[in-house]
Chain A
Amino acid sequence: AQTVTQSQPEMSVQEAETVTLSCTYDTSENNYYLFWYKQPPSRQMILVIRQEAYKQQNATENRFSVNFQKAAKSFSLKISDSQLGDTAMYFCAFMIRDGTYKYIFGTGTRLKVLA
């Protein structure tokens, strides 16, 4: 069975600093997708970044980048130059489609950016 683990329930970072959120997953499959989603307080969930497992190059979106270590089954999110608007719950998600379909979210990391 596939699992997604986010071991940091809460984190805080000073504005303009860099923070890394961790995510590990467990699967025996080789072809899957990983995502980071952001859910600000009382606002809707939006996609931050996506990574295909077959791609070795780490995905980057502006201030957001991932460190994808396939062998270690690790998918961490780095936020550079943190901004107050980055305060949110961050969910790591795993998706596989191989005869069946699974979309599994981790338990989330609540990030607070401090002024």
Chain B
Amino acid sequence: DTEVTQTPKHLVMGMTNKKSLKCEQHMGHRAMYWYKQKAKKPPELMFVYSYEKLSINESVPSRFSPECPNSSLLNLHLHALQPEDSALYLCASSPALAYEQYFGPGTRLTVT
């Protein structure tokens, strides 16, 4: 299994809602990542987990809260988002931090 899966594919939420994005991989990778990608722009790194511990938080607002329940799963909890948070959210994994990343298809988030 060489896939990174993400659910849901699309999400529309209001500014007062709480929702979660999910990411799963079964490649035995020990590093997992969340990125935000605006249209026609490169991905921007948000969070990095290495061996289930948060290694990097790129000064992301607290309305985004990551969670790594186990080595295969990565969640991104969303609360009180703003319309400018609308974007494609990509999850990725890699065998370890120094390796190439395998990306999921993304969740397209719209905040109304």
Cα of A47 to Cα of B105 in the assembled complex, Å: 13
Nearest neighbor of A108 in chain B, beta-carbon distance: B42
**Size range of the interface on B?**
20 to 34
Quick check: is B102 within 8 A (CB to CB) of the other chain? Answer: yes
A101 adjacent to B102 (CB under 8 Å): no
Quick check: is A30 within 8 A (CB to CB) of the other chain? Answer: no
* A94–chain B nearest beta-carbon distance, Å: 11
Q: Which residue of the partner chain, among B42, B97, B100, B101, contacts A97 with CB atoms under 8 Å?
A: B97
Given the interface pairs A35-B100, A44-B103, A47-B102, the reply to whether A107 lies near B90 with Cβ below 8 Å is no
**Which secondary structure characterizes the binding site on chain B?**
loop
Quick check: is A91 within 8 A (CB to CB) of the other chain? Answer: yes
B103 adjacent to A46 (CB under 8 Å): yes
Q: Which residue of the partner chain, among B40, B41, B45, contacts A103 with CB atoms under 8 Å?
A: B45
Which residues on the B side are within 8 Å of A114 (C-beta)? none
Quick check: is A95 within 8 A (CB to CB) of the other chain? Answer: yes
Given the interface pairs A101-B48, A103-B45, A106-B42, the reply to whether A45 lies near B90 with Cβ below 8 Å is yes
Quick check: is A43 within 8 A (CB to CB) of the other chain? Answer: yes
Tell me the B residues contacting A by CB distance below 8 Å. Answer: 33, 40-45, 48, 55-56, 90, 97-98, 100-106
